[in-house]
């Protein structure tokens, strides 16, 4: 596979996107097995079926975003790239954790170390994902003016 050296640094985005796409495919099969009420999968995902579906869709969405930013061919700073890939996983995994641990999906806040840790993970994921995807969007947007003025 040939890469333009100027954009080869962004290969991390493609690697992340392919991993999260594979995760979405695995979750698609999990959804099929849950629909057939296969006991092992019912045990693994005792929470809401919709949370597994949300995780599946979010992994697909995050993969598409990562592929799209890579396709834009705008060099991004290393910390932006890493935060996008990690944030894409943590954001999608929030739904997965709620499907595996239904106590996290309670409408009433539950006390304890595990739910408190989940809330911190949730907030860190939202901030990380929003800030870095926002940063990348601004950088890509600004790059369009550089191209317009030079071409």
Q: Which residue has the higher pLDDT, 3 or 121?
A: 121
Q: Which residue has the higher pLDDT, 111 or 5?
A: 111
Residue 2 belongs to a domain: no
Residue 30 belongs to a domain: yes
Q: Which residue has the tokens 């009433």?
A: 108
* Domain range for 127: 8-150
Number of folded domains that form the chain: 1
Among candidate residues 81, 114, 105, the one with its CA nearest the CA of residue 10: 81
Residue 126 belongs to a domain: yes
Residue 38 belongs to a domain: yes
pLDDT digits (tens, 9 = 90+) for 11-43: 999 999 999 999 999 999 999 999 999 999 999
Q: Is residue 85 a contact partner of residue 13, using CB atoms and an 8 Å limit?
A: yes
Residue 75 belongs to a domain: yes
Residue 1 belongs to a domain: no
pLDDT digits (tens, 9 = 90+) for 95-139: 999 999 999 998 877 788 888 899 999 999 999 999 999 999 999
Res 80 pLDDT > 60:
yes
Give 94-151 as a DSSP string. HHHHHHH-GGGG-SS---SHHHHHHHHHHHHHHHHHHHHHHHHHHHHHHHHHHHHHH-
Residue 3 belongs to a domain: no
pLDDT score recorded for residue 23: 98
């Amino acid at each position: 596979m040939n890469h333009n050296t100027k954009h080869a640094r962004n290969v991390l985005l493609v690697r992340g996107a392919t991993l999260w796409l594979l995760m979405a495919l695995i979750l698609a099969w999990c959804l099929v097995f849950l629909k057939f009420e296969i006991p092992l999968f019912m045990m693994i995902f005792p929470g809401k079926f919709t949370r597994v579906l949300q995780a599946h869709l979010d992994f697909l969405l995050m993969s598409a975003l990562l592929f799209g930013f890579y396709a834009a061919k705008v060099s991004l700073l290393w910390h932006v790239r890493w935060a996008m890939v990690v944030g894409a996983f943590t954001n999608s995994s929030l739904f997965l954790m709620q499907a595996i641990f239904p106590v996290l999906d309670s409408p009433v806040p539950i006390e304890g170390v595990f739910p408190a840790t989940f809330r911190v993970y949730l907030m860190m994921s939202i901030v990380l994902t929003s800030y870095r995807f926002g940063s990348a969007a601004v950088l890509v947007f600004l790059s369009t003016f550089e191209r317009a003025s030079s071409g």
